[in-house]
Structure formats: structure tokens, C-alpha cells
Amino acid sequence: MDFSLSGEQRQIRDTVAEFVDEEVVPRAAEIDETDEFPADLIDEMADLGLMGMPFPVEYEGAGLDYHSYAIGLSEIARGSGGLGTVVAAHTSLAGNMLYEFGDERQKEEYLTALNTGEDIGAFALSEAEAGSDVPAMSTTATADGDGYVVDGGKLWISNGSVADTVTLFAKTDPDAGRKGISAFVVRPEEDDGFVVEGTEDKLGDKGCPTAELRFDDMWIPEERRLGEEGEGFVQALKTLNGGRITIAARSVGIARAALDEATDYAQEREQFDRPISDFQAIQHKLADMDTKVRAAELLMHEAADLKMRGEDFIKEAAQAKLYASEISREVANEGIQIHGGYGYTKDFPAERFYRDAKLSEIYEGTSEVLRNTIAQQLLDE
């Protein structure tokens, strides 16, 4: 079993890390304060090929393996948790829906634009009464000539207010339960009836707009349906399963940032005439933090490896996301503790890491739902 990075993977890590250190980290506090979508940073990442990392070059993607993608996303999230979510929702959700379930024309037209960064993607699944319970959604897509009329609304949509391409889930057969859900490509600038109701004022994850969307008699052509009618529920689950690897990557990046900051602070902060890093209590905290981050990285890469091999990775992706998200919050919490009173202020980024980390335990499968998934997979083995 080889745990070493290939030359290409090291190059990806180093390239993204250099960009993050030079461009993202100096802006992170500002992004957190203003909560403005950093379009200029997105453009720079597009120029580096970071908006379509895991997709083939024939669609203007970077053609990277999933290990490299996870490494790159982790580095982005190390600089800004919100920016990590922007890329994850754009790539793992919207982009992957098009890559896995779109026809050739849809890939060439929509996926290519996402990969180049010309367009931003979003994934519209959740509703007020349909979070973890996807079949409870009420948004409908009613057949109308050579298209569909969509009515309803979505909540918690990352990138929703800035997206050029939205993969939308709606019921084409309201009486068929999960077998009555279909997926579509929506183009907000083209489709009359697409309304952004507003964006959420969140605890963290700043810079990634989380929108409430409404669809009022929005007509979309049949050619923008992804796959066949009734396949949307399965498409959503498969997409979210892969997306959990990248939320694990986001979590690892935030945890690494919290650990690095705490380590530096512990070596600089003096009490009783010596650095606090000399005290065993602080050393043990740092040791536990580093061990948790390493364990999360290994779970992340195990799930990525199975995905690349074409093997089942439902349990492993759930475990990676569950563990990485929880240790990210734990590591960030210990980072605040090491900073003491300063950790509770915005003079240091420790408190931002904590706020950004918490989201990973909620979206793309709550910790409670993931434990159910892991247990079901375990019992079925």
C-alpha cells in the first residue's frame, strides 16, 4: 500500500498552496467580514484550472485524479472555508451531475463552461420540508409541450444567487415518491420565472452565497432534462456520495489551518517566561489535533481511491465526511483554547476556523444521517 504522493499530486498541492498563501489567506478576513462573493479569486482559480479539476480535458477540465482534486480543494479550504464550498458545490455537485448524467451535447455546452470558470454551478435539491428527506420535496416539473413548467422553491443552495447553471430536482410524477423525481439544467439568465428570494446570513462559510430560490411558472425545454424521467433521486444520491469526499477535503483543510495557526501561536505566546508550547498540556493538544487531521486525510484518500477504482464507496465516503467534519470542529475548538482569550476575538483567525468547520457537520448529509448510512452499509455486508 503506497501512501506517497505522485509527482503530479505534489505539484498540484504546491501550486494550489502557493496561490492560497499569496492570494486567499491575505483576503480571508475581508471575505469573512463582507460576505461578498470573491469573483476575482474565482477567475484566478479558473486560470489555474481549479474550477474543473476532476473532469476530462475534452471538456476543458484539468483531467486530475480524485486524490489530486481532494488535495487541491483541501488547500483552497485551508485559505477560506467559504471558497472551499464555492468550488465543491460548483464541481462535485453541479459539474458532476452534468458529467455523470448529461448527454454529449449537455456536457459540451454546460460542463465545458463550468470547467473553464466561465460559468458558476449550483445544485438545487433541498427545500424547507425536504432536507434529508428528499422525496418530501414539493417542487414540480409539469410536462408542457416540448418542455416542462417548474413551480416551487429551494433552500440552502450554495452559489444559488451567482450561478449561471443550476442542476435542479423536481417531481415529474408527484404520486411516484422517489421514483417520480427528475433532474434538469436551469439557466437563471435565460429562464423566466427563476427568482432569487435572498441569501442567508450564516454563522460562517462567508463568501459563498447560500440562496433561497423560487420558480414561478418557469418553462424549460425537454432537452435540458438530465437522463430519463424518474431518475433524479438516484442521480442525487450518487452525486452526494462523491461530494462527501470533497466535504471531507474541505474539513481537512480547515482543520489543518487551525492546527497550523495554533502551533505558530503556541511557539510565540509566552507565559511564565517561556513559550506555552513548552507546557505538556499544550503539547498534548497539538499532538491530538495533528493525529486527528492525519486520520481524516487517510479516510478521505481511501474513499477517493475506491471511487477511482470504480468500486462501491458509499460507506467509506460517509465515514470520511463524518469523521473529517467532526474532527475539524474539534481541532478548531482546541485552536481557540490554545489562543486563550485572543481565540475568542476576531484579532486572530481561530474563531473563523471554528465557525467555518461547523457547517461540514450539517450539509451534504448531517452527522446523524451519515451514521445511519454507515450502519446500514455495515449491516448489509
Fold of 233-380: Butyryl-CoA Dehydrogenase, subunit A; domain 3 (1.20.140)
DSSP letter string over 155-211?
A: EEEETTTT-SEEEEEEESSTTSGGGGEEEEEE-TTTSTTEEEEEE---SS-TTS-EE
Architecture in CATH for domain 122-229 = Beta Barrel (2.40)
The percent of residues above 70 in pLDDT, for the chain, comes to: 100
The HSE-up count of residue 153 (CA atoms within 13 Å, CB side) is: 12
| Dist. CA 246–CA 136, nearest whole Å | 26
In the predicted structure, residue 2 carries a pLDDT above the cut 90: no
| Dist. CA 240–CA 125, nearest whole Å | 10
Mapped onto helix, strand or coil, the DSSP state of residue 153 is strand
Helix (DSSP H) and strand (DSSP E) numbers for the chain:
13, 10
Q: Cβ-count burial of 33 within 10 angstroms (0-12 exposed, 13-18 middle, 19+ buried)?
A: exposed
| Dist. CA 102–CA 91, nearest whole Å | 14
Mean pLDDT (the chain) is 97
Residues in the chain: 381
Beta strand 225-226 with 140-144 is unpaired
**In this predicted structure, what is the pLDDT of residue 355?**
98
Query: How is residue 238 written as a grid cell?
Result: 450518487
Q: CA quadruple 308, 310, 314, 316: dihedral positive or negative?
A: negative
Backbone torsions φ then ψ of 61, nearest 5 degrees: -80, 175
Backbone torsions φ then ψ of 182, nearest 5 degrees: -130, 160
Among the listed residues 118, 270, 364, 381, the single catalytic one is 364
| Dist. CA 95–CA 81, nearest whole Å | 20
Query: How is residue 333 written as a grid cell?
Result: 475548538
* Active-site residue flag, 364: yes
Query: How is residue 269 written as a grid cell?
Result: 505566546
In the predicted structure, residue 75 carries a pLDDT above the cut 80: yes
**In this predicted structure, what is the pLDDT of residue 118?**
98
In the predicted structure, residue 199 carries a pLDDT above the cut 80: yes
Each residue of 21-44: pLDDT tens digit? 999 999 999 999 999 999 999 999
- Kindly state the helix (H) or strand (E) to which residue 270 belongs, with its residue range: strand 270-271
**In this predicted structure, what is the pLDDT of residue 354?**
98
Q: Which one-letter DSSP state was computed for residue 128?
A: T
Each residue of 87-106: pLDDT tens digit? 999 999 999 999 999 999 99
Phi-psi region of 106 (alpha: psi -120 to 50; beta: other; left: phi over 0): alpha
Each residue of 293-351: pLDDT tens digit? 999 999 999 999 999 999 999 999 999 999 999 999 999 999 999 999 999 999 999 99
User: Does the predicted TM-score (pTM) go above 0.85?
Assistant: yes
DSSP-assigned beta bridge partners for residue 218: 150
| Dist. CA 47–CA 41, nearest whole Å | 10
Each residue of 257-301: pLDDT tens digit? 999 999 999 999 999 999 999 999 999 999 999 999 999 999 999
**Average pLDDT of span 59-73:** 98
Each residue of 208-260: pLDDT tens digit? 999 999 999 999 999 999 999 999 999 999 999 999 999 999 999 999 999 99
**In this predicted structure, what is the pLDDT of residue 1?**
64
Cα radius of gyration (the chain): 21
Q: Which one-letter DSSP state was computed for residue 372?
A: H
| Dist. CA 125–CA 238, nearest whole Å | 13
Beta strand 270-271 with 274-275 is antiparallel
200 Cβ neighbours under 8 A, 6+ residues apart: 156, 210, 211, 212
Each residue of 97-150: pLDDT tens digit? 999 999 999 999 999 999 999 999 999 999 999 989 999 999 999 999 999 999
229 alpha carbon, distance to own chain's centre: 27
Architecture in CATH for domain 7-120 = Orthogonal Bundle (1.10)
In the predicted structure, residue 18 carries a pLDDT above the cut 70: yes
In the predicted structure, residue 3 carries a pLDDT above the cut 90: no
Q: Write down the domain spans for the chain.
A: 7-120, 122-229, 233-380
Nearest alpha carbon to residue 360 among 127, 77, 29: 77
